[in-house]
Amino acid sequence: MLDQNQVEQLQANLGYQFNDRSLLQLALTHRSVGTQNNQRLEFLGDAALGLIMADLLFINHPFASEGDMSKARASLVNRQALSALAKKLNINNLLVMALGERKNGGAERDSNLCDAVEAIFGAIYKDGGYEACYQCISRLLRKEMPTQSLDEIKDAKTRLQELMQQKGLALPVYEVENIIGEEHEQCFNVTCQTELSREISKGEGSSRRRAEQDAAAAMLTLISQQTSGEN
């Protein structure tokens, strides 16, 4: 069970008070716990986030093409961005999971954090309706919304490639580690190596392309952490 104070703090951070707190509890329950877990809410929250971000981009960028809006949304709501948001909301300390998963670093794993944030959005949608979910998401992600023209937004792989070229270094190397799952729900696991980091970054996604984007975003985070560490 969640600590009462923690629930209050999370609700304050979300700017949303749950009528039914069991939904919030469920959203924070990792699938390692059992069949009552956050995966169904995550499915719903992912879709809610998709529509709400689409609408915010539609409103704020009246002349952007659908292709640029789609790219902008992908750069705003990827695994990296959502797990960063999860950490800001302290979700890593609130996740309920089996001991084995926790010992394996599950509470800090991007995919678990990202699922939990999306499940919370799904829980708000169920608890308070679409409008409440809209308000919460736009409040939390307002600062991340692009202010420049959307056609200037570049995807993570492009940004990483340009960074390497700028520094006169070799291009990033992507490798598929493995592909798991049945055909209609495959998950690609990809690594990314660059001369700017000793660490290898990892990415996952439902296609090789998405997994590479994810790994590139993780590599950009690694590089920026190293750079800020040097300062």
Q: Which residues bind a second copy (CB under 8 A)?
A: 39-40, 42-44, 46-48, 50-51, 53-55, 58, 64-67, 69-71, 74, 125-126, 130-131, 155, 157, 183-186, 206-207, 209, 213
- At its nearest, how many Å lie between a second copy and the CB of residue 25? 17
- Please, what is the minimum distance in Å from the beta carbon of residue 68 to a second copy? 10
Residues annotated as catalytic are: 46, 118
User: Would you say 7 or 77 has its CB closer to a second copy?
Assistant: 77
Output the smallest distance, CB 4 to a second copy, in A.
28
Q: Cα(180)–Cα(206) distance, rounded to whole angstroms?
A: 10
Helices (H), 15-109: 21-27, 39-60, 66-76, 79-88, 99-103
Say what angle helices 79-88 and 208-230 make with each other, to 10 degrees.
Answer: 50
The DSSP H or E segment spanning 179 is strand 173-180
CB of 193 to a second copy, least distance (A): 19
Instruction: Find, among 139, 137, 107, 142, the residue nearest to 122 by Cα.
Output: 137
Structure tokens at 3: 């600590």
Shortest distance in whole angstroms from residue 19 CB to a second copy:
18
Do 211 and 203 touch, CB atoms closer than 8 A? Answer: yes
Of 8 and 130, CB closest to a second copy: 130
In the complex with a second copy, which residue's Cβ is closer, 25 or 213? 213
Q: Which is nearer to a second copy, 22 or 90 (CB)?
A: 22
- Nearest CA among 137, 16, 126, 136 for reference residue 8: 16
Q: What is the rounded CA–CA span in Å between residue 222 and residue 198?
A: 10
> In this structure, what token pair is assigned to residue 142?
């307002």
Cα 131 to Cα 48, 77, 135, distances in angstroms: 11, 19, 6
Q: From edge to edge, which strands make up the β-sheet containing 187-194? A: 173-180, 187-194, 197-205
